[in-house]
Amino acid sequence: MSGEQVPDGAKREEGGDVDVRRLRVRRTPSPDLGGILGDARRRAGLRLREAARLAGISHPYLVQLEAGQRCPSVTVALSLSEVLTLTDAEHAVLLGTAVDDAGRDHPARQLARCQAVAKETAPDPR
């Protein structure tokens, strides 16, 4: 078993099984994405920090998106699209680059949010 390769991000559990819950395929953003986001932000008259705050993301993350180094999650893409008032063509490029299994959209985080809401809304057993 020691010669068998384990995909990036996956860990080998006891017994030799591969835990793929953390496995994710790295995606390369569209070459146009950074320019689209930067141009739209400037068109909206927003500074980086202000745009990031309005979109609910960190300033460094927006810098990485504008530099074409990261792909946003679908949730972040929708938020940016609204904050930056993207054109239909810009919106299509952004959503085409967005990933549905990362960041806020990662299945484990969605499950944790659902469990937290269920716990908050559950009747008190007393």
pLDDT of res. 50 = 97
- Whether 18 has a pLDDT exceeding 50, the answer reads no
Q: What does pTM read for this prediction?
A: 0.64
Question: For all residues of the chain together, what is the average pLDDT?
Answer: 78
CA end-to-end span of the chain: 51
CATH of the domain at 45: 1.10.260.40
As to burial, measured by CB atoms within 10 angstroms (0-12 exposed, 13-18 middle, 19+ buried), residue 37 is buried
Q: Is residue 82 included in any domain, yes or no? A: yes
Element (H, E) at 12: strand 11-12
Which residues are CB-contacts of 36 (< 8 A; sequence separation ≥ 6)? 86, 90, 93, 94
- Whether 23 has a pLDDT exceeding 60, the answer reads no
Mean pLDDT score, 45-68: 95
CB atoms within 10 A of CB 97: 21
pLDDT class of 114 with cuts at 50, 70, 90? confident
CB atoms within 10 A of CB 98: 23
Q: Is residue 126 included in any domain, yes or no? A: no
CB atoms within 10 A of CB 102: 20
Q: Is residue 15 included in any domain, yes or no? A: no
Q: Is residue 94 included in any domain, yes or no? A: yes
Mean pLDDT score, 7-15: 47
What type of residue is 98?
A
pLDDT of res. 98 = 87
Q: Is residue 100 included in any domain, yes or no? A: yes
Q: Give residue 79's domain range.
A: 33-105
Work out how many domains the chain is built from and give that number. 1
Mean pLDDT score, 57-63: 95
Q: Is residue 21 included in any domain, yes or no? A: no
